[in-house]
Amino acid sequence: MKLILDAEKCTGCKICELACSAKHQGVFNPKKAHLRINDNYTETGRETRLKSCTLCLKCVETCPAEAITFNGKWLVIDDGLCTGCGDCVDVCPEGVIFLNSEGMAAIPNFCEGNPFCIEWCPQEALYKEEDVA
Amino acid sequence: MSYRWKILRVNLSTGSVAKEPLNKGWTEKYFGGRGLGAKYLYEELGGGVEPLSPENKLILVTGPLTGTIVPCSGKLAIISKSPATGIILDCAIGGSFAAQLKFAGYDMLIVEGQAEKPVYLAINDDDVEIRSAAHLWGKGIFETESRLHDEHGMEAVVLSIGPAGENLIPFACIGSEYYRQAGRGGIGSVMGSKRLKAIVCSGSKDVIVPDMPRLLELVRKAIREDVLTDTNLWAHIGGTPTIVEMSNSSGVFPTRNYQDGVFEGAQKINADSIRKLRPHKKACFACALGCGNYLCIADSTVEGPEYETLALTGANCGVDDLGAIVRFNADCDDLGIDTISLGNVLGFAMEMTEKGMRDFGIRFGDVETYLKMPRLVAYRAGVGKELSRGVKQLAKTYGGAEFAMQVKGLELPGYDPRGSWAMGLAYATAARGGCHMSAWPVADEAFGKLDPFTIEGKAQLVITGQHYNAIKFSLILCDFWALSMGTMSEMVSCVLGREISVAELAKAGERIWNLLRLFNVREGFKAADDTLPARVFKDPLKSGTPAGRVLPRDQFDSMLREYYQLRGWDSNGAPTPEKLKELEM
Amino acid sequence: MAVVWVRTYGSLSSYSVEEDVGKGDGAPLVFQGRRVKVGEVFPRLHIPEEAVSFVAINGAKAAKDAWVTDGDKVAIFPLVAGG
């Protein structure tokens, strides 16, 4: 499954990022969220974009300990195998993998099917790909 | 705990960067934002500091709610002494700088001294550097931000000044994320006088609260039941331009330098005319509402125009061309000029020209000349050299003081006090001068059920509003979430992990208010400064509900006397020793 | 019969089945009789009175018991905080 952003509805409030880091890491820190909203003004206009797991599986391929797998729907990490090397953090093209407070890889998993960010978005701008008609 | 217990202190004269502990006792009395910033400024400045001298300080403050998921908690308070008024200047700016400062590990940033050459401050967690801004000085806010994003990444948030702040214009503002400002009182010129072009901040540290599951539960419920409700949704649906038709139909819409309160062109600059441009809504950090209208019209782009801009640079200048207002607004945002003050300055200049008292070369509705004004003023060029002095100084030189619409040197915002008498008292007694962010009783009078043309009960109405805003803007919560004191208490108690009652918050609100006043008293403030321009007392409005009305001088005086009495202040408008003792100051 | 044009602001539009109440000139509401008290508009549009700050008739603030007649324009404003 993947997340879709309706950029026109998105206001760039970042409540989704805060909800994610709060739920999974127990803290408020956008840099510890598994999705990022880039909503920036530039000299040519405004860009609003979602960064989130696209299931490119580069982290799965890269992990030297083979700690990350794909179960057909989302990523799964075996904490026992993870060595905290950080290769997955570097290779993720969306920038949504990071090392948690224990130095272990924090991997996005769409909250196992019920994304917290979707629940929290006050503008209802986030969807599951399968829910878009 | 969401406090960092850390102040970042930067001295631009010596180049020193220091980290100091935040005063815990003061946070218990003043919390953060407006209150805590004012306390630090009051204690660290003596009386009589020149606002544009190295001795003035710029204090940027977050609050205990900053960086959490509490909705509408994205604002930053910026406190200093105003170059326009010589008294306290408590500004606020939206966007996401406040959150980044907190994520970087600081509750507060204090900037002191003066750099020899233009510099900017780069904050990235513990790394803080004063860097040369030679390549940025002279540039507008938009290009400055763009360049700093290239250097520091798109996630860094920038506060900067434009040419107006560099040129020490008394109504220069600080800008962020292109279209948000700390607007009033020349705060941008305080930065300019320090040769501080910009502050860039990036943070990656966790903000922790004692009971995360409880806070998430509280906030989840609050967003659904208390934020996204009819009371607040006007901000998302339409935004502040919604107020245009409200002001106009109640006859308080400042028209042609406050000569009237109904503008015949209001329908061309109302919420509908903006909705037709299909704005993309924009929110500050952690805001569930999102009031910003990002839009494009005839090659001009802006997030705006806000109500105040539509009022003061639209109706007040006799301009009903929305495209021109958007263009004017974008130029002001780039040059770093307060649209409220500039709109007043132009309205004054237009009336002076039309009356033949002084030819400033501009008349009401003259869009072509109007569009040239932001640039002329920012660079003190041509007629901008005079106009950049503000209406109070202009009237001193050229006359017209009766219709120089300012209080204590700060130009008035967009609600005519003749149509809302409590608003007149609010303007007269606001700490930083003619300001609508101390209290907003126009909502209860012109836009509500209270009789606007009586002074009965109005002193208390204004006092209650001032205390509410004082504590709200110290936690920091945005104006547009009309939450109860009870909800405020719930939020801050949960975030801090200790019970903070409504009574404690209300007392803090009163304490903060008295502190702002003490600052001004030390600067030589007198009761006579709590007044309004003569037009309000003498020139009747012509149209709408308040047609024929003035705010009679004797009524205003009674209202003010009652206000001092209820506040426990003496007849000079100064807090008495008993009052200060009661408030544990 | 009186046809009154009603325009709502903020989120008040969401109460009514009439789509146009939130736009431009608003939506036409038909009332029996030559005139009606403007307060009658609220129940017709299912708007809770507590959500309303004030009403204007033909661009000027009016009391809830003011009369409106055929062709009048009514604006209904939400509660607003701040500035």
pLDDT score for C81: 78
3-state secondary structure of B42: helix
Question: Chains with ≥3 Cβ pairs under 8 A against A?
Answer: B
Residue B1 has pLDDT above 80, yes or no: no
Cα Dmax for chain B: 67
pLDDT for A1 equals: 83
Q: Where are the domains of chain A?
A: 3-131
CATH of the domain spanning A3-131, picked from 3.30.70.20, 3.30.70.260, 3.40.50.920, 3.30.1490.20: 3.30.70.20
R_g over Cα of chain C = 12
If you ran DSSP here, which 8-state letter would residue B304 be given? -
Are B223 and A122 in contact (CB < 8 Å)? Answer: yes
Report the half-sphere exposure of B79 (CA within 13 A, side-chain side). Answer: 28
Flag residues of chain A having pLDDT under 70: 132-133
Burial of C81 by CB count in 10 Å (0-12 exposed, 13-18 middle, 19+ buried)? middle
Closest by CA to A15, choosing from A124, A126, A120, is A120
The pLDDT tens digits for B478-500 are: 999 999 999 999 999 999 999 99
pLDDT at C18: 81
Whether B447 sits inside 8 A of C80 (CB atoms) is yes
B51 belongs to a structural domain: yes
pLDDT top residue among C81 and B57: B57
- Domain range spanning residue B121? 6-202
Is A100 near chain B, with CB under 8 Å?
Answer: no
Least confident of B28-37, B89-98, B318-327, C12-21: C12-21
CB atoms within 10 A of CB B481: 26
What is the model's pLDDT at position B183?
94
By percentage, how much of chain B surpasses pLDDT 70?
100
pLDDT given for residue B340 in this prediction: 98
Q: Residue B83: which CATH number?
A: 3.60.9.10
CA distance C64 to chain B (A): 11
Which run of H or E residues covers position A36? Answer: strand A35-42
In angstroms, what separates the C-alpha of C33 from chain B's closest C-alpha?
Answer: 27
Of B67, B142, B288, which is closest to A13 when you measure between CB atoms?
A: B288
C49 touches chain B (CB under 8 A): no
Using an 8 Å CB-CB cutoff, list chain B residues near C6. Answer: none
* B174 has pLDDT over 70: yes
| C22: its two tokens | 């939130």
Per-residue pLDDT at B570: 97
C33 touches chain B (CB under 8 A): no
> Which residues in chain B have Cβ-Cβ distances shorter than 8 Å to A31?
103, 204
| Residue C45 forms contact with B (CB below 8 Å) | no
| Exposure string for A53-86, b = 16+ CB within 10 A, e = fewer | bebeebbbeebeeebbeeeeebbebeeeebeebe
- Count of domains observed in chain B: 1
List chains adjacent to chain B, taking adjacency as at least 3 C-beta pairs closer than 8 Å: A, C
**CA dihedral sign of residues A47, A48, A51, A54:** negative
Is residue B252 pLDDT above 70, yes or no?
yes
Closest Cβ–Cβ partner in B103, B212, B228 for A29? B103
Residues near A110 by beta carbon (within 8 Å), at least 6 away in sequence: A1, A3, A53, A73, A74, A128
Residues 6+ apart with CB under 8 A from B16: B9, B10
Among B233, B414, B482, beta carbon nearest to C10: B233
- Distance, in Å, from the CA atom of B269 to the CA atom of B262, rounded to the nearest integer, reads 13
Helices A15-25 and B212-222, interaxial angle, to 10°? 150
Query: In DSSP terms, which residues pair with A98 in a beta bridge?
Result: A106
- Asked whether at least 3 C-beta pairs link C and A within 8 Å, the reply is no
Residues B177-203: pLDDT tens digits? Answer: 999 999 999 999 999 999 999 999 999
Q: Does C80 touch chain B (CB under 8 A)?
A: yes
Distance CA B442, CA B35 (A): 24
3-state secondary structure labels for all residues of B220-277 = HHHHHHHHCCHHHHCCCCCCCCHHHHHHHHCCCCCECCCCECCCCCHHHCCHHHHHCC
**How many other CB atoms are found less than 10 A from the CB of residue C58?**
13
B545 touches chain C (CB under 8 A): yes
Chain A residues closer than 8 Å to B209 by CB: 28
pLDDT tens for each residue of C19-32: 888 888 889 999 99
Q: Containing H/E element for B81?
A: strand B76-81
Q: Which domains does chain C have, with CATH numbers?
A: 2-78 (3.10.20.30)
The CA distance from A85 to the nearest CA of chain B, in Å, is: 20
Query: pTM for this structure?
Result: 0.97
B468 in reach of chain C (CB within 8 A): no
C31-63 pLDDT, tens per residue? 999 999 999 999 999 999 989 999 999 999 999
Instruction: For C58, name the nearest residue in chain B, comparing CA atoms only.
Output: B249
- Report the pLDDT value the prediction gives residue A133, as an integer from 0 to 100: 58
Chain C nearest-CA distance from B335, in A, is 23
Decide if B244 is inside a domain. Answer: no
Helix (H/G/I), strand (E/B), else coil: A74: coil
Angstrom distance (rounded) from CA B371 to CA B351:
17
Q: Is C39 on the interface with B (CB under 8 A)?
A: no
Count of residues making up chain C: 83
How many cross-chain Cβ pairs, A to B, lie less than 8 Å apart?
88
B554 phi/psi in degrees, rounded to 5:
-70, -35
C23 touches chain B (CB under 8 A): yes
User: Residue A71: which H helix or E strand, with range?
Assistant: none
User: How close B440 gets to chain C, by Cα (Å)?
Assistant: 6
| CB contact (8 A) between residue A28 and residue B303 | no
Give contacts of B281 with chain A, Cβ < 8 Å: 11, 123
Q: Is pLDDT above 80 for C83?
A: no
Q: Above 70 in pLDDT, residue C82?
A: no
Helix, strand, coil share (%) of chain B residues, nearest 5: 40, 15, 45
Please give the pLDDT value at position C21.
Answer: 87
Q: Which of A11, A99, A119 to mutate to test the interface with B (most CBs of B within 10 A)?
A: A11
| Interface predicted TM-score (ipTM) | 0.97
Is B161:B197 a contact under the CB 8 Å cutoff?
A: yes
Contact assessment for residue A9 and residue A107, using Cβ atoms and an 8 Å cutoff: no
Min Cα–Cα distance to chain B from A98, Å: 12
With contact defined as beta carbons under 8 Å apart, do A18 and A30 qualify? yes
pLDDT band at B541 (very low <50, low <70, confident <90, very high): very high
Does the beta-carbon distance from A11 to B220 stay under 8 Å?
Answer: no
Distance CA B540, CA B552 (A): 10
